[in-house]
Chains A and B, each alone.
Chain A
Amino acid sequence: MSNPQQLRFTKEHEWVTAVDADGIATVGITEFAANALGDVVYAQLPAVGDTVTAGETCGELESTKSVSDLYAPVTGEVVEANQDVVDDPALVNTAPFEGGWLFKVKITAEPDDLLSADEYTAFSAG
Chain B
Amino acid sequence: MSNALRLTALDALHRSLGATMTDFAGWDMPLRYGSERDEHNAVRTKAGLFDLSHMGEITVHGPEAVKVLDYALVGNISTVGVGRARYTHICQEDGGILDDLIVYRLGETEYMVVANASNAQVVLDALTERAAGFDAEVRDDRDAYALIAVQGPESPGILAGLTDADLDGLKYYAGLPGTVAGVPALIARTGYTGEDGFELFVRPEHAVQLWEALTKAGEGVGLVPCGLSCRDTLRLEAGMPLYGHELTTALTPFDAGLGRVVKFEKEGDFVGRAALEAAAERAATKAPRKLVGLIAEGRRVPRAGFPVVAGGEVIGEVTSGAPSPTLGKPIAMAYVDAAFAAPGTSGVGVDIRGTHEPYEVVALPFYKRQK
Interface residues of A (CB under 8 A from B): 35, 38-39, 41-42, 44, 62, 64-67, 90, 93
Q: Is the CB of A42 within 8 A of B229?
A: no
Interface of B (DSSP majority class): mixed
Cβ–Cβ < 8 Å partners of B35 in chain A? 38-39, 93
Cβ–Cβ < 8 Å partners of B233 in chain A? 64
Cα A64 to Cα B34 in complex, Å, equals 13
Cα A90 to Cα B323 in complex, Å, equals 13
Shortest distance from the beta carbon of B171 to any chain A beta carbon, whole Å: 32
Beyond A38-B32, A39-B35, A93-B35, whether A65 also contacts B300 by CB under 8 A is: no
| Interface magnitude class on chain B | 10 to 19
Cα A62 to Cα B303 in complex, Å, equals 11
Interface residues of B (CB under 8 A from A): 20, 31-32, 35-37, 229, 233, 299-301, 303, 322-323, 330, 353
Q: Is the CB of B229 within 8 A of A65?
A: yes
Cα A44 to Cα B301 in complex, Å, equals 12
Cβ–Cβ < 8 Å partners of A41 in chain B? 37, 299, 301, 323, 330
Cβ–Cβ < 8 Å partners of B301 in chain A? 41-42, 62, 67
* Residue in A35, A42, A64 whose beta carbon sits within 8 Å of that of B37 in the complex: A64
Instruction: Write the chain A residue with the least CB distance to B299.
Output: A42
Q: Is the CB of A42 within 8 A of B303?
A: no
* Residue in B299, B300, B322, B353 whose beta carbon sits within 8 Å of that of A64 in the complex: B322
Cα A66 to Cα B305 in complex, Å, equals 13
Cβ–Cβ < 8 Å partners of A38 in chain B? 20, 31-32, 35-36, 229
Cβ–Cβ < 8 Å partners of A35 in chain B? 20
- CB<8 Å pairs between A and B, sample of 25: A38-B20, A38-B31, A38-B32, A38-B35, A38-B229, A39-B35, A39-B37, A39-B323, A41-B37, A41-B299, A41-B301, A41-B323, A42-B299, A42-B301, A42-B323, A44-B300, A62-B299, A62-B300, A64-B36, A64-B229, A64-B233, A66-B303, A67-B303, A90-B37, A93-B35
Cβ–Cβ < 8 Å partners of B303 in chain A? 66-67
Further 9 A-B residue pairs, CB within 8 A, beyond A38-B36, A67-B301 = A38-B31, A38-B32, A42-B299, A42-B330, A62-B299, A62-B301, A65-B31, A65-B229, A67-B353
Cα A35 to Cα B31 in complex, Å, equals 12
Shortest distance from the beta carbon of B371 to any chain A beta carbon, whole Å: 28
Cβ–Cβ < 8 Å partners of B20 in chain A? 35, 38
Cβ–Cβ < 8 Å partners of A93 in chain B? 35
Cα A93 to Cα B303 in complex, Å, equals 22
Cβ–Cβ < 8 Å partners of A66 in chain B? 303
